[in-house]
Structure 1
């Protein structure tokens, strides 16, 4: 028996870091939304009881380091499942890009195996399980748009943002989230206005959303990787309405309201960046169905 599950990427419209927590994580406040760039996860039951990861992407680990493996293993142990699963990951989301590709794969695995193994776990409980795997997994269980607090696992649903295009550009480097947070000085960062971003989304104010994009990690990553700053500058030069780095980077995204401008921004970036995507926001939780 097989099942295909969609695992969409996310972008951070706003990312603030409030403090370092006693558990070693950081207290964050993030507005996240899903975009129509997605991995495909194929789940196939196996009788042996083992978990297999299959992927053609050489950057995807094929063992217990893979977050989809961790998701399957957690469900299997917690609910004493005898069956195993072969997990085939068809990557479209760039790896180590600040787009939650691994977290989304884990979330898709949890959602799919919940059905395939007939576990009937409520979605809120699945999100709690996801938090044990990684900070972004809870959000990816729900999808759509949300305000995420705590270390990223406390999720408050928001309406879909104003309709627009999203241009994503990833340079040919990976960024370690752990390294970025280690270099972060919480008392020196510029804090984005999360409340204003939430209000812009609620009132469907596209200009307000553009004006309040913000990422407290951006200056750290830009200092470590000047090529990210270069992509940001080029995206602004080619005419994106607003530009920001997603997550800990290195992917930069630009918001574009009108389709007539999308091709110009996309083509300009393709001149010096291999991984460029022009996608729509998914925005709504139902987009995962």
Structure 2
């Protein structure tokens, strides 16, 4: 038996860090939404009691470091599953890009294995298990658009944002999320207005969404990697309505509504950057069907 599950990327329309918690994590508030840029995760049932990871991408680990492997291992242990699985991951989402590619692969594995191993878990139960794997996994289990709080695992569903193009540009560098958080100075930073972004989404107000994008991690990553700042400037110059770095970077995204301007920005960036995509926001949550 085989199952194919899509694992879409996410972008942060707003990302705020409130303080460092006693457990070492940072308390965050983020508005996240899934986009139509996805890995393909194929799950093949094995009667043998083992987990195999297959990927042609040399940056994707094939052992316990892989988050999809961890998802399978967690379900096997918790529910005493004696069957195994081969998890084939076809990467489209750039690795170490601030787009939650690994987290989304893990979430896709959770949703797919729930069906493959006939576990009968709800999305809420899968999201709770996902929170043990990584901070973005809970959101990726649900997909759609949400406010994420805590360390990212407390999810409140939001409506889909206004329809627009999302142009993504990733330079040929990886960014260490841990290093970005280590260098984050919480005093005196400009915090995005999460409440206003929620209001803009609730009112389907594109201009207000564009006016309230913000990411407190940007300053750190831009200092560490000046090429990210250059991409931001290029996107603005080409006419994007809003430009922001996603997550801890280095991917920068621009929002635009008009097809002609999308093509101009996309073509302009392709001569300047390694990986460029023009996609739509997905809007709706995943289902277990």
Could you say whether these structures have the same fold, taking a TM-score greater than 0.5 normalized by the shorter chain as the test? yes
Tell me which residue corresponds to 1:143: 143
TM-score, scaled to structure 1: 0.99
Is 1:248 aligned with 2:255? no
SS of aligned partner of 1:267: helix
Shift, 1:60, TM fit: 0.4
SS of the residue aligned with 1:188? coil
1:184 pairs with 2:196: no
Q: Structure 1 residue 248: deviation in Å?
A: 0.2
2:101 — aligned with what?
A: 101
User: Structure 1 residue 82: deviation in Å?
Assistant: 0.2
Confirm or deny: 8 A CA contact 1:144 1:287 kept in the other structure. no
Q: Which runs of structure 2 are paired with 1:71-110 in the superposition (5 Å)? A: 71-110=71-110
Size of the aligned set, in residue pairs, is: 289
Structure 1 consecutive aligned stretches of length 4 or more whose deviation exceeds 3 Å: 286-289
Counterpart CA distance in 1 for 2:277 and 2:211 is 23
* Equivalent-residue separation in structure 2 for 1:119 and 1:236 (angstroms): 48
Deviations 1:215-238 (A, max 9, x none): 010001001100000000001111
Deviation of 1:288 after TM superposition, in Å, equals: 8.6
8 Å contact kept, 2:16–2:215? yes
* TM-score for both structures, normalised by structure 2: 0.99
- For the pair 1:239 / 2:217, whether they are aligned, the reply is no
Secondary structure (helix, strand or coil) at the match of 1:244 reads strand
1:40 matched to which residue of 2?
Answer: 40
Deviation larger for 74-83 or 184-193: 184-193
Residue 186 of structure 1 deviates from its aligned partner by 1.1
SS in 2 for 1:279: strand
Residue in 2 that maps onto 1:23: 23
Partner residue of 2:157? 157
Aligned residue for 2:76, secondary structure, equals helix
Contact 2:54 2:88 in 1 (8 A): yes
> For the structure 1 residues 287 and 97, does the alpha-carbon distance in structure 2 shift closer, same or farther, using more than 3 Å as the test?
farther
1:247, distance to aligned residue in structure 2 (A): 0.2
**Which SS does the other structure have where 2:4 is aligned?**
strand
Contact 1:143/1:288 (<8 A) preserved: no
* Structure 1 counterpart of 2:125: 125
Q: CA deviation at 1:188?
A: 2.9
The 3 A distance-change label for structure 1 pair 82 and 151 is same
Partner of 1:112 in structure 2? 112
Pair 1:193-2:198 in alignment: no
Q: CA contact under 8 A between 2:141 and 2:286: conserved in structure 1? A: no
* Gapped regions of structure 1 (runs ≥ 5): none
Decide whether the 8 Å contact of 2:111 with 2:288 is kept in 1.
Answer: no
* Equivalent position SS for 2:239: coil
